[in-house]
A and B are shown apart, each in its own frame.
Chain A
Amino acid sequence: MLRTEEMLLNVGPQHPSTHGVFRLVIKIDGEIIKEATPVIGYLHRGTEKLAEDLTYTQIIPYTDRMDYLAAMTNNYVLCHAVETMMGVELPDYAEYLRVLAMELGRIASHLVWFGTYLLDIGAVSPFLYAFRERERIINLLNELSGGRLTFNYMRVGGVKWDAPGGWFDRVQEFVPYMREQLAGYHDLVGGNEIFLSRVKGVGVYSQETALQYSLSGANLRCTGVDWDLRKHEPYSLYERFDFKVITGETGDAWDRFKCRMGEIEESLKIIEQTFDQMPAEGKTMAKVPRMIKAPPGEAYVRIESPRGEIGCYINSDGKKEPYRMKFRRPSFYNLQILPKLLEGENMANLITILGGVDIVLGEVDG
Chain B
Amino acid sequence: MSWIDQLLQSPPGWSNFLTFMALGSMMLTITLGFVTYAILAERKIMGAMQLRHGPNQVGGRFGLLQTVADILKLLLKEDIRPAHADRALFIIAPILTYVPAFLVIAVLPFTEAFHFADIGIGLLYYIAISGLSTIGIVTAGWASNNKYALMGGMRAAAQMISYEIPLVMSVVGIILFTGSLNLIDIVNAQESLAFIFLQPIAFLIFFIAGTAELNRTPFDLPEAESELVAGYHVEYSGFRFAFFMLSEYVYLFAISALITILFLGGWHDPIPYLELDGPGLGAIWFSLKFIGVVFLFIWVRVSFPRLRADQLMEFGWKVLLPVALANIFVSAVIKEFFF
Q: Which residues of A contact B (CB under 8 A)?
A: 7, 9, 15-17, 30-31, 118-125, 128-129, 132, 188-189, 192, 194-195, 197-198, 346-351
Q: What is the CA–CA distance of A364 and B224 in the complex, to the nearest angstrom? A: 26
Q: Which residues in B have their C-beta under 8 angstroms from that of A132?
A: 51
CB distance from A55 to the nearest CB of B (A): 43
Q: Which residues in A have their C-beta under 8 angstroms from that of B305?
A: 118, 121-123, 189, 192, 194-195, 198
Contact of B52 with A17 in the complex, beta carbons under 8 Å: no
Contact of B49 with A125 in the complex, beta carbons under 8 Å: yes
Q: Which residues in B have their C-beta under 8 angstroms from that of A192?
A: 304-305
Contact of A346 among B46, B52, B218, B309 (CB under 8 A): B309
Contact of B303 with A125 in the complex, beta carbons under 8 Å: yes
Q: What is the CA–CA distance of A348 and B310 in the complex, to the nearest angstrom? A: 10
A189, closest chain B residue (CB) = B305
Within 8 A of A (CB), among B208-227: 217-218, 220, 224-227
CB distance from B305 to the nearest CB of A (A): 4
Contact of A17 among B46, B218, B226, B311 (CB under 8 A): B226
CB of B16 within 8 A of chain A? Answer: no
Contact of B307 with A125 in the complex, beta carbons under 8 Å: no
Chain B 132-154, CB-CB to A under 8 Å as 1, else 0, gives 00000000000000011001001
What would 27 A/B residue contacts be, using CB atoms closer than 8 Å?
A: A9-B147, A16-B225, A16-B229, A31-B309, A120-B226, A121-B226, A122-B218, A122-B226, A123-B305, A123-B306, A124-B50, A125-B49, A128-B50, A132-B51, A188-B303, A189-B305, A194-B305, A198-B305, A198-B308, A346-B308, A347-B151, A347-B227, A347-B228, A348-B224, A348-B227, A348-B306, A350-B227
Q: Which residues in A have their C-beta under 8 angstroms from that of B225?
A: 16, 122
Given contacts A122-B306, A123-B304, A194-B218, contact A17 B227 (CB under 8 A): yes
CB of B302 within 8 A of chain A? Answer: yes
Q: What is the CA–CA distance of A7 and B148 in the complex, to the nearest angstrom? A: 11
Q: Which residues in A have their C-beta under 8 angstroms from that of B306?
A: 121-123, 194, 198, 348
Q: Which residues in B have their C-beta under 8 angstroms from that of A121?
A: 226, 305-306
Q: Which residues in B have their C-beta under 8 angstroms from that of A31?
A: 151, 309
Contact of A349 with B308 in the complex, beta carbons under 8 Å: yes
B147, closest chain A residue (CB) = A9
Q: What is the CA–CA distance of A210 and B111 in the complex, to the nearest angstrom? A: 64
B218, closest chain A residue (CB) = A194
Q: Which residues in A have their C-beta under 8 angstroms from that of B49?
A: 125
Q: Which residues in B have their C-beta under 8 angstroms from that of A346?
A: 308-310
CB distance from B248 to the nearest CB of A (A): 16
Contact of A16 with B226 in the complex, beta carbons under 8 Å: yes
Q: Which residues in A have their C-beta under 8 angstroms from that of B224?
A: 122, 348
A199, closest chain B residue (CB) = B305
**Chain A CB within 10 Å — which of B51, B217, B226 has the most?**
B226
Q: What is the CA–CA distance of A121 and B306 in the complex, to the nearest angstrom? A: 6
Contact of A197 among B147, B228, B303, B307 (CB under 8 A): B307
Q: What is the CA–CA distance of A124 and B301 in the complex, to the nearest angstrom? A: 9
Contact of B304 with A348 in the complex, beta carbons under 8 Å: no
Q: What is the CA–CA distance of A322 and B309 in the complex, to the nearest angstrom? A: 52
Contact of A194 with B226 in the complex, beta carbons under 8 Å: no
Within 8 A of A (CB), among B38-75: 46, 49-52
**13 extra A-B contacts, CB within 8 A, seeds A198-B307, A346-B309, A351-B227:** A122-B220, A122-B226, A123-B305, A123-B306, A124-B302, A128-B50, A129-B50, A129-B51, A188-B303, A192-B305, A198-B305, A349-B308, A350-B227
